[in-house]
Amino acid sequence: MKFPHKTQLWLLVLVAWLTQGLQAQGQSFGLSVQPSTNQVVGTNSITYNIYLTNLAGYFLPSPAVTNSFSAQVTLASATSSQGSNYIASGNLIFGLGPMTNGGTATMTLTVIPISSGVLTNTVVAGALQATNVAGTNVVTEIYSADAELGIRLAGPIQHIYASDLTAYTITVTNSGPDAAPDVLLTNTLPASVLLISASKSYTASGSSQLFDLGAMHSGDAITVQISIQPTNANILAFTAGIGAPGILDANLANNTASTNLLISAYPASQLIAFTNSAQTINYQNGLMEQLVQVVNVGANDVPAVRVVVSGLTNRLVNAVGTNNGNPFVVYPATLAAGAKLDLLLQYINNSRTPFPFTNGQLNPFAVTVPDWTPPAVSQTSTNVNLRRIIQLSDKRMLIEFPATPGRAYTVVYSDNLAFTNARIAPPSVVAPANAVQWIDYGPPATISAVTNSPRRFYRVYQNP
Amino acid sequence: MPKPKRQFAKCFRRPYAWGAVCCLAGFVPSAKAQPGIYNDADSSKFVRIPSDADDWTRHFRVGALVGFNLSADFKMQGGFGISGNDPANGIFADGYVRTDQTGNARGHTSYWGYNSASQYDAVSHTLKMTALSDFNASGGGHDDKNAIPGFELAYGGNLWYWKHARVGWELGFGLLSVNISDNRTVDGTITQSVYTFDTGNIDVPGAPYQGGSSGQGTLISATGNKLPGPTTTSGTVSGSHSLDVSLYTIRLGPSFYWDVTERIGVSLGAGPAIGVASGKYSYNETITTSGSSAHSYGKIDGADVVYGGYVNATVMYHFNDSGRNADVYVSAQYMPMGNAGFGGGGREGTLNLGGQIYLSAGLNWPF
């Protein structure tokens, strides 16, 4: 059975409103309604226990209680302590029969909602002989699913400087028992941040991006990576929220997440950089190589050194990031005041010949020490057996390992076999062949030239 | 005499009924004993069966067939080209040296690979690549094949009878799918050209190595130095040579049938036969010299008509159920035929059919 709700509802509301004024003249009924719940998921039923007392002061021959619903429901059952019930004009009416003065009647009504949203049951008690009526509205939230959506933000590990290209990750989960339909992720960027790309398609809305993630089943997790470029040094607040229509989400606290990212300016330093060798082709790896030297001419040590190379038309292969579109390499250790440092830059140049390059393209900065701690061996199931480790005639170490062309691999090095203080040798290398010959040429890939290290151990794992 | 056999026979006049018969091969219907069928069973000589007689004068047979004593001879003789190698484009039997995405800038390429450590000469810093152009080989072998499955159909009729014996004719059809392979290795003389590529002072990646075309990775000289030659060297030709042939046989000849008991009958037949062998000779060869190898593969389609004869013997067991008759039969047949030849260009395969023996079993319906 279905309950329509249009004209009848307005009439009943009007009656209920009038009741408020009439009650001031003396109540005819005592009416209370106790719903079994005020939140329902899916097609679970709602039971209303209705209690009516005759307060008219005299016998009432035929009082009635009308239940009018704001949306269609299915009647499961209806019982009363006296009288009977019937449907009229889409309303369920309890016709209670004779009630003595002070007499009480109990009614129980169970319905099943059909659609999600707000369901209001307007209950009105009245009788022809009564001077007024009594009424109340019972509101129940109807949800389509019981889903527990959650969202997390994970910022970059490395310290960020203004105009760095960086990224953060948004992870959306559904840990509830039901699927959540039409999950919508809203990501909001603070001012002074350029959105470079996102790993999923989105619709822009001001400073926000709306990601339609579709349905998320129980246990699903979706990761979205947002690549950004902060333009100014600042503390920036990144926020994201998740939601889905018509779901019961018991924990709304984890439907939003935020994180603050510290965007720094380069600390003051007095570093100069200049080329220290000619460009030469390395036939061992097919790359153009050139040494540059960085000198700390200031009075203070710098914790680490970044050299941003501008004006390039060839790719800087051993860059670990970009700043304002310019690639940079990082020396991950202190450069003492007055000390100098050689860094090897590796380029791809399809002519395999030197290309024009000036010292003005080298921009050295002091930076904090990057965190290049590798995952533990036990955490990487893709560790690769090295085929050879040999020392080349120029004293560099060559590591050869089998590879799948096109897959990325990361080299880890340490000065002890337990790898207790291991570091990644960035960047990861994409295999150009079925074997990779990776060369430890010293900084910036590793913290020092092999000849300056008493021992060096290597391991390699394939990136996920 | 009631004639329930008519209904049985009629069904075979419809195309779908023939298909059903094939599906029912191996099914043994229950049936009553075959009734006495001729009017003059006590005649002292063979009596001509009237042409309009409708009592059990014909039969149809379908059954599974297994062929024995088939064999094939394979032979290679002469010179053969090797199509896989293309030294002009840097494709060799034991590696490649091709043009990378830089266009081999400065005469070097990352797009190279090699198979064996023996190709690298650490003293001269060169990598040897070998291109195999052709080979001469002579040899072959004989391979037997037994128990080749197939099926047969037969249709026949009776012309004369005498007591429990009948003389008639039978037309038979048989199909065998024959696959015989030879995997012998034969010696050969291979013509090859050897090229060397300068590796410079790099440390060559361990073999086998397959470099990519990106321009990154170990670089070697893109230009090879062709050594004097071509030269010939001894080697081997391995792999497989095979015949995949469908053998269709048709036979026609007189038959003699004798009801030994009420349930058991025996039939003998003999006559000429013709066969059509249609299929292909295929080869997948690996030509190997010391340190390098190349593949050569292909197929040669063909068909051949062969002639011969047959003699067979069949034992049948009669079933009869409410007038519906059927026999279960087993049969042995000797069908010598000529040999069928396939191949060309120095590769030949001969399917030897001179001693074919077929064993078959199935159902026979008299009507």
Q: For residue B340, what are the CA distances in angstroms to A397, B75, B275, B303? A: 66, 14, 9, 8
pLDDT band at B161, cuts 50/70/90? confident
Q: For residue A286, what are the CA distances in angstroms to A2, B104, B211? A: 77, 11, 12
Q: Which of A355-359, A375-379, B24-28 has the lowest mean pLDDT?
A: B24-28
Distance of CA A348 to the CA centre of its chain: 36
Q: How many CB atoms lie within 10 A of CB B285?
A: 25
pLDDT in tens, A257-312: 999 999 999 999 999 999 999 999 999 999 999 999 999 999 999 999 999 999 99
pLDDT in tens, A169-228: 999 999 999 999 999 999 999 999 999 999 999 999 998 999 999 999 999 999 999 999
Count of structural domains within chain B:
2
B201 vs A432: CB contact, 8 Å cut-off? no
How far is residue B256's CA from residue B161's CA, in Å, rounded to a whole number? 10
- The CATH class that applies to domain A271-367 reads mainly beta
Q: CA torsion, points A42, A43, A49, A50, in degrees to nearest 10? A: 100
Q: How many CB pairs under 8 A join A and B?
A: 75
Cβ neighbours of A392 in B, within 8 Å? 203
Instruction: Examine the pLDDT at A404 and tell me if it is beyond 60.
Output: yes
Question: How crowded is the C-beta side of A15, counted as CA atoms within 13 Å?
Answer: 23
B183 touches chain A (CB under 8 A): no
B98 touches chain A (CB under 8 A): no
Sheet with A208-216: list strands edge to edge.
A160-161, A256-264, A234-243, A180-188, A208-216, A203-205
Question: B37 and B175 in one domain?
Answer: yes
Q: Are strands A247-248 and A145-146 parallel, antiparallel or unpaired?
A: parallel
pLDDT band at B43, cuts 50/70/90? low
Instruction: Examine the pLDDT at A455 and tell me if it is beyond 50.
Output: yes
Q: pLDDT over 90 for what percent of chain A?
A: 82
Break chain A into its structural domains and give their ranges. Answer: 7-143, 146-264, 271-367, 377-462
Shortest CA gap B211–chain A (Å): 4
> Is ipTM strictly over 0.90?
no
Where does a domain end: B210, B235, B260? B235
Cβ neighbours of B209 in A, within 8 Å? 433-435
Q: pLDDT over 90 for what percent of chain B?
A: 67
Instruction: Examine the pLDDT at B296 and tell me if it is beyond 90.
Output: no
Question: B353 and B227 in one domain?
Answer: no
- The CATH class that applies to domain A7-143 reads mainly beta
Which of these, B72, B73, B81, lies nearest to B298 by C-alpha position? B81
Q: Which two tokens stand for residue A6?
A: 């249009």
* Mean pLDDT estimate for chain B: 86
**What is chain A's alpha carbon radius of gyration, rounded to the nearest angstrom?**
36
Map residue A422 onto helix, strand or coil: coil
Q: What are phi and psi of A403, to 5 degrees?
A: -150, 165
Question: B86 and B124 in one domain?
Answer: yes
How far is residue B5's CA from residue A240's CA, in Å, rounded to a whole number? 86
Fold of A377-462: Immunoglobulin-like (2.60.40)
Identity of the residue in A353, A390, A432 whose CB atom sits nearest the CB atom of B106: A353
Two domains, one topology: A146-264 and A271-367: yes
Q: In terms of C-beta density within 10 A (0-12 exposed, 13-18 middle, 19 or more buried), how is residue B234 classed?
A: exposed
- Do the Cβ atoms of A231 and A193 come closer than 8 Å? yes
Question: B291 and B178 in one domain?
Answer: yes
pTM above 0.80, yes or no: no
Q: Give the pLDDT confidence score for residue B3 in this predicted structure.
A: 36
* Residue given tokens 């389609």 in the structure block: B301
- Do the Cβ atoms of A135 and A124 come closer than 8 Å? yes
Q: Which two tokens stand for residue A223?
A: 């990761």
Question: B344 and B226 in one domain?
Answer: no
The percent of chain A in helix, strand and coil, each rounded to the nearest 5, is 5, 55, 40
Tell me what the mean pLDDT of segment A444-452 comes to: 92
Domain housing B229: 82-135+190-235
Q: For residue A10, what are the CA distances in angstroms to A90, B188, B336? A: 13, 102, 102
pLDDT in tens, B211-248: 999 999 999 999 999 999 899 999 999 999 999 999 99
Tell me what the mean pLDDT of segment A348-362 comes to: 95
How far is residue A441's CA from residue A343's CA, in Å, rounded to a whole number? 9
A281 vs B110: CB contact, 8 Å cut-off? no
Residue of B nearest to A346 (CA): B216
Q: Give the pLDDT confidence score for residue B55 in this predicted structure.
A: 65
Identity of the residue in B102, B103, B209 whose CB atom sits nearest the CB atom of A434: B209
A433 vs B210: CB contact, 8 Å cut-off? yes
- Do the Cβ atoms of B270 and B310 come closer than 8 Å? yes
Q: CA torsion, points A403, A405, A407, A413, in degrees to nearest 10? A: 40
Instruction: Examine the pLDDT at B27 and tell me if it is beyond 60.
Output: no
Distance of CA B287 to the CA centre of its chain: 24
* Residue given tokens 């949306």 in the structure block: A71
Question: B294 and B252 in one domain?
Answer: yes
- Do the Cβ atoms of B324 and B305 come closer than 8 Å? no
Q: Give the pLDDT confidence score for residue A24 in this predicted structure.
A: 38
Question: B333 and B216 in one domain?
Answer: no
Q: Give the pLDDT confidence score for residue B31 in this predicted structure.
A: 33
A351 vs B102: CB contact, 8 Å cut-off? yes
How far is residue A459's CA from residue A285's CA, in Å, rounded to a whole number? 19
Question: B122 and B265 in one domain?
Answer: no
Question: B342 and B199 in one domain?
Answer: no
C-alpha angle A438-A356-B214 in degrees, rounded to nearest 5: 35
**What is chain B's alpha carbon radius of gyration, rounded to the nearest angstrom?**
33
- At residue A156, what is the residue type? P
Question: B151 and B268 in one domain?
Answer: yes
How far is residue B337's CA from residue B354's CA, in Å, rounded to a whole number? 5
DSSP 8-class letter at A335: B
Instruction: Examine the pLDDT at A10 and tell me if it is beyond 70.
Output: no
pLDDT in tens, A81-94: 999 999 999 899 99
Question: B68 and B126 in one domain?
Answer: no
A285 vs B216: CB contact, 8 Å cut-off? yes
Q: Give the pLDDT confidence score for residue B12 in this predicted structure.
A: 32
pLDDT in tens, B172-193: 999 999 999 999 999 999 999 9
Which architecture does CATH list for A146-264? Sandwich (2.60)
- Do the Cβ atoms of B145 and B178 come closer than 8 Å? yes
B102 vs A400: CB contact, 8 Å cut-off? no
Where does a domain end: B201, B235, B269? B235
pLDDT band at B10, cuts 50/70/90? very low
A417 touches chain B (CB under 8 A): no
pLDDT in tens, A230-261: 999 999 999 999 999 889 888 999 999 999 99
pLDDT band at A5, cuts 50/70/90? very low
Map residue A11 onto helix, strand or coil: helix
B110 vs A284: CB contact, 8 Å cut-off? no
CA dihedral (A8, A10, A12, A14) positive or negative: negative
B108 touches chain A (CB under 8 A): yes
Question: B300 and B315 in one domain?
Answer: yes
Q: Which two tokens stand for residue B150?
A: 């197939």
pLDDT in tens, B249-269: 999 999 999 989 989 999 999
